[in-house]
Amino acid sequence: MIKRFRATFRLLLKSPQFVVSLILLSVIGFLTVFGPLITPWEPWSIDATKRFAGPSLQHWLGNDEFGRDIFSNIVYGARISLIVSILSMTFASVVGVIIGMVAGYFRGAWEMLAMRGTDIMLCFPPMLMAIFLVALTGPSIVNLVFVIGILFIPRFARIAYSSTLSVAEIQYVEGARAIGARNWFILLRHILPNILAPLFVQFSLGLGSAILIESGLSFLGLGPPPPAASWGRMISTAQRYLSVSPFGVLWPSIFISATVIAVNLLGDALRDTLDPRIRNRSE
Amino acid sequence: MINYIIRRLVQTAITTFIVVSLIFFLVHLLPGDPARTILGGMTAQPTAEQIAAVREQLGLDRPLHIQYLTYLRDLARADLGESLVNNRPVLDDILLRVPRTLQIAVPALILATIVGIPLGVVAARRRRRMGDLVISTISVAAFSLPSFVSGLLLVVVFSINLQWLPASGWVSPADDFAGFLSRIILPTIALAVAPAGLIMRMMRSSMLEQLGQDYATTARAKGLTDQKVVYGHVFRNSMMPVVTSLGLQAGFLFTGSVIVENVFNWPGIGNMLLDSVLNRDYPVIQGMVLVVSLAFVLINLITDLTYGLIDPRIRYD
């Protein structure tokens, strides 16, 4: 298992997308975890003498309309975006994979229920459902995690379902069943490890969409309420002062875009490397 | 073909019924009392009488199954209720605003296609060379960029710095056609960025897949030029997944238009949805979610029927 992991990692390092995304994600990850130790400013502390101040040695990215330190706000905003997106994808993948595997392994009524259910959920544009559910339940961080998570369950369920269908046909599964292995054991031990690759890809691409939805909702005023710092809300307030100072819009925009680009590149690299069909074609 | 159409129509009818019911039960069964939230915005501590009055106005005091049947009956008469804010019929407002959203969504889709397809073809033909690398990077960046970022960048460059185009607002094309045109340019571009990136990427991978097929190898083997193989044989087949991704693109355009309309202060359905959420105007929220999701059910149906029409293999599944 570890050997296979190492081999995959070595293959990944050959992909320029993976290297770029690894560098971007290391920087963003470092800032997110250690940022609050680097910056001496609280994201909410106001300094009227520094309104719209440009970048300086004390305030690396300048100050916003209340003289708050933009860098601190970005670092704290990164925490919210990353926490929301990682937790929501974890929730979506766990629930989606269980639904998809059960549907693909047991077939029959389960299959019917799960596939028609995901069909219906996929009818709704994600942003419409996100706004609708946030409007009904209120914009807390916990609600955002569940709302975004629910939107992505069908995608994970679909992928897990179709992979399970093909893996369940393979002889070693039949063999395991013949020697009397229990269903849950077969699902966990023989099927799950063999369907992980496409799920990793979806997880990574899903993180990008989740960050976009979270920042979009915050931008529209439906994100986590203050004092939680958030990229979307920073941009939404700063756009009013766009003609005075573009920095308040510029910095968080760069950070959101870089983060989403990084996870999308990671997803692409994973897909190219983990999917044997694409890999062989490229040799 | 007839059988296929009938089967899809029946499926769509069932889906529609489930979507309609799901929206009703989400509104009514999720925690939180609409009456309390509506009043919460107006007075600090609503009295029991006030809450009861609002509940009666919304029909929330009746048993759930009666509310559900009334909702279905009204829906069958195309009655979506009235806004709590301006007392206008919800459906009238939606119908007023849908064209305005289409005024930027349709040009955006066309723009995304015009830009995306040729670039995707070029990237596929120059696979693993400089051109491919540049185009693929642009396409990832395009659909990774939040629409408010692309929108605001356009405003900074073209409205604030160059002062070529107005930064926001809408005028009716009937009143001032030139003004209307100058106002749809920036929102249309902002809205087209993400779908263009997506179309580019789909076109590239679908073209690569077709180029690897046996028939393409055969065509090359019998001595056709690269040009002829690509445009005579491969192009048509690789367009299939792109054309049939209409439903997906429409979803992207909707997500984008909620945000782009907000950036450019464009009075379409995206802004209407947002206003209704911020005002906690429940009948409008419910009506909008209903109309938009039914529109998407319809788009999916049309996509599937077109797919069945173009590709005979689909019909016999």
CATH number, domain with residue B110: 1.10.3720.10
Please count the structural domains in chain B. 1
Q: Say whether A275 sits in a helix, a strand or coil.
A: coil
Q: Which residue has the higher pLDDT, A2 or B181?
A: B181
DSSP annotation of A188 reads I
Of A125, A138, A242, which has the smallest distance from its Cβ to B160's Cβ? A242
Tens-digit pLDDT profile for residues B55-103: 777 777 777 788 888 888 888 887 878 887 788 888 888 898 888 998 8
Looking at residue A34, its amino acid is F
Cα–Cα distance, B250 to B109 (Å, whole number):
8
Q: What is the CATH number of the domain that holds A16?
A: 1.10.3720.10
Where residue B281 falls (left for φ over 0; alpha for ψ -120 to 50; beta otherwise) is beta
Q: Which residue has the higher pLDDT, B162 or A48?
A: B162
Cα–Cα distance, B180 to B174 (Å, whole number):
9
Cα–Cα distance, A117 to B18 (Å, whole number):
10
- Find, in chain B, the residue whose alpha carbon is nearest to that of A215: B146
Structure tokens at B84: 């709590």
> Looking at the predicted structure, is the pLDDT value of residue B306 above 90?
no
Report pLDDT for A278: 52
Q: What are phi and psi of B223, to 5 degrees?
A: 100, 15
DSSP annotation of A133 reads H
Looking at residue A185, its amino acid is F
Residues of A in contact with B144 (CB under 8 A): 208, 212, 257, 260-261, 264
Are B253 and B191 in contact by the 8 Å Cβ rule? The answer is yes
Report pLDDT for A38: 73
Q: How far is B317 from chain A (nearest CA, A)?
A: 16
Q: Which residue has the higher pLDDT, A94 or B244?
A: A94
Alpha-carbon dihedral sign for residues B163, B176, B265, B270: negative
Task: List the beta strands (DSSP E) in B174-306.
Answer: none
Residues of A in contact with B201 (CB under 8 A): none
Name residues of chain A where pLDDT drops below 50: 279-283
Does residue B79 belong to any structural domain of this protein?
no
Residue B308 CB neighbours (<10 A): 18
Task: List the beta strands (DSSP E) in B41-197.
Answer: none
Does residue B28 belong to any structural domain of this protein?
no
| Helical pair A126-137 and A141-168, crossing angle rounded to 10 deg | 140
Report pLDDT for A283: 33
Are B195 and B253 in contact by the 8 Å Cβ rule? The answer is yes
| Cα–Cα distances in angstroms (integers) from residue A73 to residues A35, A77, A169, B29, B280, in the given order | 10, 6, 52, 37, 29
Chain B touched by A234 (CB under 8 Å): no
**Residue in A146, A237, A96 with CA at minimum distance from that of residue B31:** A146
Report pLDDT for A282: 41
pLDDT classification of B30: cutoffs 50, 70, 90: low
Residues of B in contact with A208 (CB under 8 A): 144
Report pLDDT for A51: 66
Q: Which domain holds residue A270?
A: 2-282
> Looking at the predicted structure, is the pLDDT value of residue B243 above 80?
no
H-helix or E-strand spanning residue B36 = helix B34-40
Residues of A in contact with B143 (CB under 8 A): 264
Chain B touched by A243 (CB under 8 Å): yes
CA A102 to the chain's CA centroid = 24
Cα–Cα distance, B254 to B262 (Å, whole number):
12
Cα–Cα distance, B284 to B272 (Å, whole number):
9
User: Who contacts B314 (Cβ-Cβ below 8 Å, separation ≥6)?
Assistant: B4, B304, B307, B308
| Contact: B263, A239; criterion CB under 8 Å | yes
DSSP annotation of B205 reads H
Instruction: Say what the alpha-carbon torsion angle A193, A194, A195, A201 is, to the nearest 10 degrees.
Output: 80
Q: Name the pTM for this structure.
A: 0.85
Cα–Cα distance, B242 to A163 (Å, whole number):
24
Interface test with B, best of A151, A220, A259, A265 (most B CBs within 10 A): A220
Q: Which domain holds residue B232?
A: 99-316
| Contact: A126, B251; criterion CB under 8 Å | yes
| Cα–Cα distances in angstroms (integers) from residue B42 to residues A27, A223, B87, B223, in the given order | 46, 22, 17, 77
Max CA separation in chain B (angstroms): 85
Report pLDDT for B172: 79
Cα–Cα distance, A271 to A257 (Å, whole number):
21
Q: How far is B303 from chain A (nearest CA, A)?
A: 12
Structure tokens at B278: 């911020």
Whole-complex ipTM: 0.82
Q: How many residues does chain B have?
A: 317
Q: How far is A89 from chain B (nearest CA, A)?
A: 17
Please count the structural domains in chain A. 1
Cα–Cα distance, A146 to A130 (Å, whole number):
10
Cα–Cα distance, B251 to B260 (Å, whole number):
14
Cα–Cα distance, A159 to A157 (Å, whole number):
6
Q: What's the whole-number average pLDDT of chain B? A: 82
Tens-digit pLDDT profile for residues B189-231: 999 999 999 899 888 888 888 888 888 888 888 888 888 888 8
Are A246 and B156 in contact by the 8 Å Cβ rule? The answer is yes
Of B148, B278, B289, which has the smallest distance from its Cβ to A221's Cβ? B278
Where residue B88 falls (left for φ over 0; alpha for ψ -120 to 50; beta otherwise) is beta
- Among residues 167-206 of chain A, which lie with CB inside 8 Å of chain B? none
